[in-house]
């Protein structure tokens, strides 16, 4: 995603500059560069970037600790840089908010695909989480509507279809969602319910 806003967190100023040059000439926007984890956290929270590129051995808060903090607020995907292959870091990275992992020295040929894949995977994950929330809300709404329908059937001696139509009519007349009407009905006493038709 060219034009993506990126925070770079690496203690090596020379390496940060190298990354900055590589990324900006291709159209990425560097919104912050930090040399330690604590300053990086502030910049990430303030800038809300599209991606964070962080060194695994960052002082203050290392890359994995930073990834954990970022995960709590789901701010952005994290691309982790390491100076060498280290099994422990790789294992921890698999269990954390790391969307791509590169070993230094990095070059454009492996950096740019890693960035694009990290951002794409992150977007997909966020979409899936939203869908899960939507489905949960939909299921909860259905449960409440079913309970309200059951109450109407019992109290007003209606069949299922008529009870549902009554809910829908009340929803349209009162300009409330089906869930709001169902919750309202469940809060009514029997006399109120008898007057609802």
CATH number at residue 31: 3.40.50.2300
Shared domain check, 144 and 85: no
pLDDT of residue 92: 79
Shared domain check, 93 and 16: yes
Domain with 148, as residue range(s), is 133-194
Percent of the chain with pLDDT over 70: 94
* 126 within domain boundaries: no
The total of structural domains in the chain comes to: 2
CA distance 154 to 177: 22
pTM (two decimals): 0.76
* 44 within domain boundaries: yes
Domain boundary among 60, 87, 106: 106
Shared domain check, 173 and 95: no
Q: What is the pLDDT of residues 95-111, one digit of tens each?
A: 788 999 998 888 999 99
pLDDT of residue 105: 87
pLDDT of residue 93: 77
* 121 within domain boundaries: no
Shared domain check, 92 and 12: yes
* 77 within domain boundaries: yes
Shared domain check, 92 and 27: yes
* CATH number where 189 lies: 1.10.10.10
* 113 within domain boundaries: no
Shared domain check, 14 and 75: yes
DSSP code per residue over the chain: -TT-EEEEE-S-HHHHHHHHHHHHTTT-EEEEEESSHHHHHHHHHHH--SEEEEETT-SSS-HHHHHHHHHHHT---EEEEESS--HHHHHHHHTTTEEEEEESSP-HHHHHHHHHHHHHHHHHHHHHHHHHHHHHHHHHHHHHHHHHHHHHHHHHT--HHHHHHHHHHHHHHHT--HHHHHHHHHHS-HHHHHT--
Q: What is the pLDDT of residues 109-160, one digit of tens each?
A: 999 999 999 999 999 999 999 999 999 999 999 999 999 999 989 888 889 9
Shared domain check, 93 and 12: yes
Domain boundary among 106, 141, 159: 106
């Amino acid at each position: 995603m060219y034009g993506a806003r990126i925070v770079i967190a690496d203690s090596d100023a020379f390496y940060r500059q190298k990354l900055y040059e590589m990324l900006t000439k291709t159209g990425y926007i560097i919104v912050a560069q930090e040399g330690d984890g604590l300053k990086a956290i502030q910049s990430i929270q303030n800038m809300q970037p599209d991606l964070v590129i962080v060194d695994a051995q960052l002082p203050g808060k290392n890359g994995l600790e930073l990834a954990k903090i970022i995960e709590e607020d789901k701010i952005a995907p994290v691309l982790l840089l390491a100076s060498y292959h280290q099994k422990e870091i790789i294992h921890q990275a698999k269990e954390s908010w790391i969307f791509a992992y590169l070993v230094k020295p990095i070059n454009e040929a492996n950096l740019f695909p890693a960035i694009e894949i990290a951002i794409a995977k992150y977007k997909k994950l966020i979409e899936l989480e939203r869908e899960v929330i939507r489905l949960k809300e939909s299921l909860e709404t259905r449960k409440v509507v079913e309970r309200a329908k059951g109450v109407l059937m019992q109290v007003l001696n209606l069949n299922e279809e008529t009870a549902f139509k009554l809910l829908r009519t009340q929803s349209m007349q009162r300009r409330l969602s089906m869930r709001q009407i169902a919750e309202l009905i469940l809060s009514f006493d029997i006399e109120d319910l008898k007057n609802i038709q």
